[in-house]
Structure 1
Amino acid sequence: MRRRLRSLDALAATAAIWFLAKFLRYAFPPLFPALSVRYGVTDATLGLAFTAMLLVYALLQFPAGALADRIGATTVITAGAAVAGVAGLVLAFDIPFVVLVGAMVLVGIGTGVHKTVAVGLLSTVYTERTGRALGVLDTAGALAGVAAPAAIAFCLASGRVTWHAVFLAGGLTGLGLAVLAHRWLGAREPEPDGTSDERVSLRRYAALFREPAFAGFVLVTVGFSFAYNGVVAFLPRYLETTGLTPATASAVYGSLFVVSLVQTVTGDLADRVGALRVIVVTLAVATVGLLALIAVPEGAGITVLVGTVVVFGLGSHGFRPVRGAYLMALLPEDVSGGGLGVVRTILMGAGALAPGVVGIVSTYAGFTIAFSVLWVALAVAAVVAGVLLVTEA
C-alpha cells in the first residue's frame, strides 16, 4: 500500500496545481456582476479582460512544452505554480481595474505553463495508465469549477469576508504547491538530455499538420475549446437571463462541474475501447446538451436548466481527458512536449477568443445568439470527429 501511494506522488502534485489553476480561473465568471458594479464596466469589457488572460495562457502552451523537453517538466511546473501564487496575492487586495486586469494576465502566465507539461510528464510516468491518469488530472481541474463559485458565493453573501479572501488563499496555496512540486516531481521525472529541442526545428512541428488525422483532430479540439470556454465564461450571466437569481445561477453553474467525475470513467474507457470512439460519443452528448440549454424557454424552471447543464457537462468533461490521451498517441515521441504545446496553443487561442466574442455579441444581440454561435462550433467539432472515426476504421 505504501508503495502504491508513493507511485501516485507525481499525479497528486500535478493534479493539485491544476486544481489551483482552474480555481483561480473559475473564480472570475461568478464575480462578473460584482466587478461590473464595482468598476462600472460592461460585459463586453469583462469578456475582453477574460480573453486577455486566456490568450496569454494559450500563447505559453508551445514555449512551455518545448522548454520542458529541454530543461525538464519539474522546473517549468514549479515556476508556474509560484507565478500563479503571486497573482493570487495581488488579487487579494482592493486594486484599480487596470491592475486587476494585469493580475488576471499574470494568472494566465502562471497557469499557462502547467497543463501541457503535466500531460507530457504523466504520460511518461504512467505509461500503461495514461488515460486514467489524465482523467484524474482533468477531474481535479473540473472540481475547481465547483469549489470556486461556491467560495465566491459564500464571500459575496458574507458580511465579514470579501471575495479577496478567495485569492489570498489561492495565492498562499500556489506558493506552497510550488515547493511540493519541486520535491515530488523532481524525484520522478527522467533526466532531460538537453539536446532534443536543439534537433527539432519549427518545420518538424509544422510537418505534423500534413497528417490528415492530426490536422483533423486539431480542428475538433479548436471547435470544442471555443464553445466550452465561451459557455464557462458567461453561463452564470446567461442563466440570469432565464429568470434565475444570481445566487441560484451560481449554484446551477456549479452543477456543470459536479459531473466532472465522469472524466475518470471516460479516461479509463478510452484505454479499453479506443479514444476516438469515446471522443465521438462525448462530443455528441455535449452538442445535444448545449442545444437544449439554448432552447430552454424563459421561466422553464431550475430542474430543466440543471438537466441541460448536466448533459452539456457530462459530454464536455468526458471529452477532455480523452483528448489529451489521443493527442499523445498521435504525436511522435521526439516532439511530444512541443507538439502538444503547439496544439494547445491553437486550441486555447481559439478558446481565449470565445469570452470576448460572447461578451460583445451578448451585449448587442443577446445571449441566445451568442450561445448559438458556440453551438455551431461544437457541432462542427462533433461532425469532424465522426468523420475521423469512419476514416480510421
Structure 2
Amino acid sequence: MRVTNYSFTERFYLLYKVGRFAFSAGLLVLLFSLSSLGSSIVDSFSLAVLAVYSLVSLLLFALSKKPHFYEFLLDELFLFLLVVKGAFSYAFFSIFLLFPVFFSVIFLGAPYSYLTLLFAFTLQFFYFIVLYGGLSYEGVIQLFLNALALLFMLLAAQKLRVRFEAQELYIRSLEVEREEAQLYKRLYEISADLAHELKNPLASIRGAVELLREGKNSPKLVDIIYRETKRLDSIIKDFLNLARPSTGEVARLSLKSTLEGLISSVGHMGKEVSVKGEEVFVESDPKLLSSALDNLLRNALQWARRRVEITVLKEDGWAVIHFDDDGPGVPPSERNRVFEPFYSRRSEGSGLGLSIVKKFAIDSGGYVSVGDSPLGGARFTLKLPLRRSGEGSDSRG
C-alpha cells in the first residue's frame, strides 16, 4: 500500500519551489518599486534578469514534479547575473548560494551536489574577475571563507539527508508492520467467522444425531442432518474456492454462452431472467469465470422480486457485465462490505459468494462494484480485460 503522506524530498522540494518563486517575485516588486521612484541603484538589466527568473520560477513551480540538476545551476546563474549588476551585495550573494547547494544535496545527493558546489565556487571566482579584474589578498580570503561555508553547508545537508532517509525507512517499516497487523487481524476475524459458520450446522447435526441415538427415529431428523451436511459442504466448497489459487488455465470464452449455460443449470428461481448485449469473448480460467458469474447470478436471483437483467458489453478493451435486479438494492453504507468474506445480508447465506467474485476480479486484473440498478434494485458490475497479459495484470487489450 502506498503511503499517502509526502516524503521528505517532496515536502522540501515544494518548500524550495515556493521559496524560489516568493524570493524572485518579491525582489522583482521591490526593485520595480525602487525604479519607479527614480532610484539609481536599479538598472533595466537587473529588472529584465529578475523578470525572467520570476517567470522561470513560476513555470518550475507549476510544471516541475521532481527536482532536476539544471534548476540549481539556473538559480546560481541568475543570482550571479543579479549581483554583478548591483541588485544586491556580494555578502547576500554568498548567503543565497547556500540554498541551491543545501537543497541539491537533499534532493539529488552525489555527484550532482558536488557539481552544484563547484559551480557556486566558480561563480564567486568570476565575480571578482568581472568586477575587480582579479583577486586581491582580501578577495582571496573572502573567497576561501565563502567556499568553506559552502563546503560546511554541503556536509551538514548530507548528514541531514542521511537522517531523513533513516527516518523514512523507519516510517516505512512501521507501515509494513501496521499492514501485517491488519492482515493478521483480518485473518483472525475470518477464522472466527468460519468457525461460527461451521458451528451452527454442526450443532444442528449433533442434536439430531443425539436424538437418533436415543431411539427417536424421525424423517425430520434425517432431513436436518441432510440439509445441514449439504450446507457444510457448500460453505467448505466456497471457502476453498476463495482460497484456491488460479490454475493458470486460460481459454477464450464467450460470456453470453457461459451465462446462458449457468442460467440453465441454476434455474430461474421463479424470476424472469434475460441476457442481452454483445457477443463478447474474454481470456480467462473457465472454472473461475464460471464460479464468479454463478455467484453474481445467484445473488441477483436471490434478491430480485420478479426480474433479473444481465447485460454484456465491450468498452475500450474491457468486457463489462451488468447484473441488474428489481430487489431492495444495497444501501451505500454497505457497498464496501458486501465483498468481505462471511459478510451476508441473508441469514442462510455463507457470505463467501461475492468475496469469490472480488478475488477473481482482482486476479484477472479487473474490477467488481455495486451500485443502483435502473430496475430499482442493485446493479453488480464485473469488468474484465478482454486479453490477459499476466496474472493480476491490468490489461486493457
Fold match (TM-score > 0.5): no
The structure where strand makes up a greater share of residues is 2
> So what's the TM-score if we normalise by structure 1?
0.20
Q: Which structure would you say has the larger Rg? A: 2
> So what's the TM-score if we normalise by structure 2?
0.20
Indicate the structure whose relative CO is greater, using CA pairs within 8 Å and at least 6 residues apart.
Answer: 1
